[in-house]
Amino acid sequence: MRVLKGEVNTMAPQSLFVLLTAGILVVHRATADDVLCYAEVNMVTGECQDYLGEGVSHLDCCLNIKYAFKRDPLSPCQACRPAEWSQWGEWSPCTVSCQQGVQQRQRVCIGQGACQGGSLEVRACSLQDCCPQSGGWSQWSSWSQCSVTCEKGQRKRTRQCNNPPPLCGASCHGKAEEVEHCDTSQICPTHGQWGNWGGWSQCSSSCIIEGSGKFPTQPRFRECDNPNPSISPRGNPCPGSNRDSRDCTSLPFCPVDGQWGAWQKDSECSVTCGVGRIAQKRSCDSPAPKHGGKYCVGSPTRHNICNTQVPCPIDGSWTDWDEWSECKRLSGDAVKCSSRAALQYRKRHCVGTDHEGKWCEGEARESRSCYNIDGCPLREPGYWTEWSQWGLCSSPCGQSERKRFRECLPTYPDYPPVVEGATKIAETFFWGKPKYKCAEVDGQTLKVQETEECKNTPPCT
């Protein structure tokens, strides 16, 4: 390849490919490895799409693995990417129109190399469970009566497609009905005809409702006497109605009473978050009173709820205190089972604050002086508490019971208070579970329980 600036090449066009980029002519001589390069591959049909041009090798075309190429216009499309299956095509029509057949669909292996699996899928199909089968006719019925009672008319007979019945939507060949002429040998009756209309009567109302598109009406009448229908043979009465009407368009409009229009906002919402109150007003204009009608009844103003849809600030609140930490000294000195005081800590957390609400007031951490008696045997025996209050019934209906307890509490050693600084004396707490027991009650030394029935509970349904 060579690059020419401002120079025109006069070689045969079928052996050179010329590109113009930023004012520079790039001339490329065709080789046996040149291909037609495409920017896309149809992932259903495997066909090349979005033609880019020719005069490049398939290696250059495939610098982008999303591209594809053809050796010549009649060659199959070859994708640059590694081999992969296209999407499955549409299912073919069912091979039969009734009972069970099959359908097929195919996919194409697109890319360089071989795809694993098959290119064809087959599934069973059934457009309808049975195949149509023509039926047979029954015997003809008797002829019907003549269609008229005088002069000439028609009569008919029918047959049924049920001998045997057709199957699966089929029918019988031929007609299900036959028609022939018939003569009654009777004279026809005289049918009635209308006489002239009478004069117009009074209007149905004395005024017109404005905007209704309707008017009061006035009627007129006529008689069936031109001629009267014959009696023997009996003639038909006159067709249609003996009454006619027309609109009364020259009347005055009817009075229109006023009606309230929709409520409209008359003030801003009383709050900037959450819901509050808002003043509203309305006008007597839906419609306004006209033609002597009455004015609207009721108040033109009211107060209603309003919703800002803005969350209000939520101030935080403290959780319960965490459990006290282990009672110990930071120096690691032994304090367990002795009158040497130590420190312990506990924390709580400010939760629930949202929408710029206030943080909790107070401290999130506190400490206290303590004696560590965890697992320590106590010299003095424990003491029994009084009975607790009775607990709740175990069930809201049917058989139920309640309980109460007495507990054995430890008798702590008579350790002295702890002095912090020159003047401050802090209360000191015992921490941990010591080893102790009380005098035996009902065979127990730590906790006793009483149970009694909850009476008169309702039956369970």
CATH number of the CATH domain containing 35: 3.90.290
Element (DSSP H or E) covering residue 404: strand 401-409
Is 171 inside a domain boundary?
no
Record the pTM.
0.38
38 lies in a domain? yes
Mean pLDDT for the stretch of residues 340-347: 91
Which of helix, strand or coil describes residue 400? coil
Query: For residue 74, what are the domain limits?
Result: 2-85
Q: How many domains does the chain have?
A: 1
* pLDDT value at 287 more than 60: yes
pLDDT, mean over the chain? 83
440 lies in some domain: no
- Quick one: pLDDT at residue 448? 93
44 part of a folded domain: yes
Residue 311, in any domain of the structure: no
Mean pLDDT of 12-24: 35
26 pLDDT higher than 80? no
Residue 68 maps to a domain = yes
Q: How far is CA 428 from CA 260, 375, 417, in A?
A: 76, 19, 6
The DSSP secondary structure of 281-325, one letter per residue, reads: E--S-TTPPBTTPPPPPS-SEEEEEEE---PPPB--EEPPPPPPP
Residue 338 lies in a domain: no
**pLDDT at residue 22 above 50?**
no
pLDDT range class, residue 98, cuts 50, 70, 90: confident
Domain membership flag for residue 48:
yes
Residues 6+ apart with CB under 8 A from 80: 58, 61, 62, 64, 65, 66, 67, 68, 69, 111, 112
pLDDT bucket at 318, cuts 50 / 70 / 90: very high
Band of pLDDT at residue 103, cut at 50, 70 and 90 = confident
Q: What percent of the chain has pLDDT over 70?
A: 91
Q: Please give the pLDDT value at position 372.
A: 93
